[in-house]
Amino acid sequence: MGGTVLKASNAAVNKPVNVGIVGLGTVGGGALNLLRANAAELSRRTGRDIVVSHVGVRREHPNLNLTGITVSMDIFAVVDDPAVDVVVEVIGGITAARELVLRAIANGKHVVTANKWLLAEHGNEIFSAAEAKGVYVAFEAAVAGGVPIIKVLREGLAANNIDWLAGIINGTGNYILTEMRDKGRSFADALDDATALGYAELDPTFDVEGIDAAHKLTIMASIAFGIPLQFSKAYTEGLSKLTRDDVVYAEELGFRIKQLGVARRTREGVELRVHPTLIPDDRLIAHVNGVKNAILVQSDAVGTTMYYGAGAGAGPTASAVVADIVDVVRALTAESAPNVPHLAFMPGAITNTPILPMEDVVTSYYLRLQAYDRAGVLADVTRILSNHDINIEAILQKPMQEGGSVPVIILTKPVVEREMNLAMAELEALDHIIGSVTRIRMEPLA
């Protein structure tokens, strides 16, 4: 029962904490500005002054006031600076970032990073190095921007066995889907708009193909279930094949389409998948629109909880970076690194539960076929589904379109994806089915 809570009287004698920031782009500049703007409030919270003493940059930043700060064009000078207590890595990318973070750790410095790509790919190596050295790598900003979902999963819900989580964790993708639904726009149009507004990168592949979401999902799944980071095993499916028709038909059936990252613990293994998903429109998360993020978590004691907010942008991401700095400073002041394990579970207690191949995942499906309006079409379709033990929940045939074909929408009951793949191949081989079958997975989220 040792240890003492810092008394107010100690606050004055504690020396400032020196922060080194590597990268002064949107997030780094935002963190610098936030540390200054809320300096008094941060000192009230931690009992210490938090000072940015050194920044590493690769170009000039004439719009930032760097008075009193050491500026190095060699970014490694920051992590080698003996006066720096905490290194903030916000350069992005994975090659230089990995080297930089590992060197900071080797130098005995705590690290704060917003780099989900880096952690999804190299997190196991980085956390292992940090644990060996007795320093901490904090990464709240890597997932869902300013929504403190890492802390919630790792500490707030620590009493629970987490069953599954499902998140809208890419703001660009959610903006596109919201525009498609609310304004009847096509995927391509909505993406152009997202790019013009600065939500999507010039190369939007990571956003629209679900890769960025899969990075974040990989991190959350590790923390929720106590498993190693395994980004390479995540299933990703993008938004580009979605049509406006699908959005409308889903709506008619009482659903909305969201790009969800889903991680679920089953007896056989862990599901780790990002794909467009039909969700019932009476779920709160169905009403999360625009660039916002939200994560729904299902756990055994608390039941369903949800966490909502801005997933990107200078302010929200800087909020998470600075919250991590506060955690580290509070720990430094307690003269002990935080004893919260990086991945929520003790390093020796991480389990090797396998990630399920997508073919083994069970979900319900929305299917859309384009069929010639001939006698026997529905009989053929339902026979094929029945042969694969796929039960139909609802069926909707739309009016005939130009060319004499009709769209048929089918909602199925849960079935393993392997069977659905076989059934889809047989459906597509039918003479009176035109083109490929659109398949969107469904999640009841209940």
What are the residue numbers of the active site? 216
Q: Which residue from 69, 77, 94, 306 is in contact with a second copy, where contact means CB under 8 A? A: 306
Name the one residue in this structure whose structure tokens are 């969201």: 258
Secondary structure (DSSP) of 199-235: SS-SSTHHHHTTHHHHHHHHHHHHHHHT----GGG-E
Residues 3-22 that bind a second copy (CB under 8 A): 3-9, 11
Q: Which residue from 36, 74, 106, 134 is in contact with a second copy, where contact means CB under 8 A? A: 134
Which residue lies nearer to a second copy by CB, 175 or 345?
345
Minimum CB separation of residue 303 from a second copy in Å reads: 5
Report the candidate in 94, 121, 126, 103 with the shortest Cα–Cα distance to residue 20: 103
Residues 308-327 that bind a second copy (CB under 8 A): 308-310, 315-316, 318-323, 325-327
Contact partners, residue 374, CB within 8 Å, separation at least 6: 432
Minimum CB separation of residue 128 from a second copy in Å reads: 11
Secondary structure (DSSP) of 96-149: HHHHHHHHHHHTT-EEEE--HHHHHHHHHHHHHHHHHHT--EE-GGGSSTTS-H
Q: Is residue 340 involved in binding a second copy (CB under 8 A)?
A: yes
**At 68, phi and psi to the nearest 5?**
80, 0
Name the one residue in this structure whose structure tokens are 């920051």: 78
Instruction: Mark 43-72 with x for binding to a second copy (rule: CB under 8 A) and - for no binding.
Output: xxxxx-------------------------
Is 29 a known ligand-binding residue?
yes
Q: Which residue from 151, 185, 215, 264 is in contact with a second copy, where contact means CB under 8 A? A: 151
Residues 154-193 that bind a second copy (CB under 8 A): 155-161
Q: Which residue from 235, 307, 365, 366 is in contact with a second copy, where contact means CB under 8 A? A: 307
Residues 200-239 that bind a second copy (CB under 8 A): 226
Range in contact with a second copy (rule: CB under 8 A) among 21-29, 228-236, 344-352, 388-396: 344-352
**At 303, phi and psi to the nearest 5?**
80, -140
Instruction: Mark 83-122 with x for binding to a second copy (rule: CB under 8 A) and - for no binding.
Output: --x----------------------xxx------------
Q: Which residue from 39, 106, 284, 434 is in contact with a second copy, where contact means CB under 8 A? A: 284
Is 26 a known ligand-binding residue?
yes
**Radius of gyration in angstroms for the set of CA atoms belonging to the chain, rounded to a whole number:** 25
Range in contact with a second copy (rule: CB under 8 A) among 174-182, 295-303, 367-375, 380-388: 295-303
d(CA 102, CA 205): 28
Is 47 a known ligand-binding residue?
no
d(CA 134, CA 109): 9
Are 256 and 286 spatial neighbours (Cβ–Cβ below 8 Å)?
Answer: yes
User: What are the residues facing 332 on neighbouring strands?
Assistant: none
User: With contacts defined by CB under 8 A, how many residues of the chain interact with a second copy?
Assistant: 89
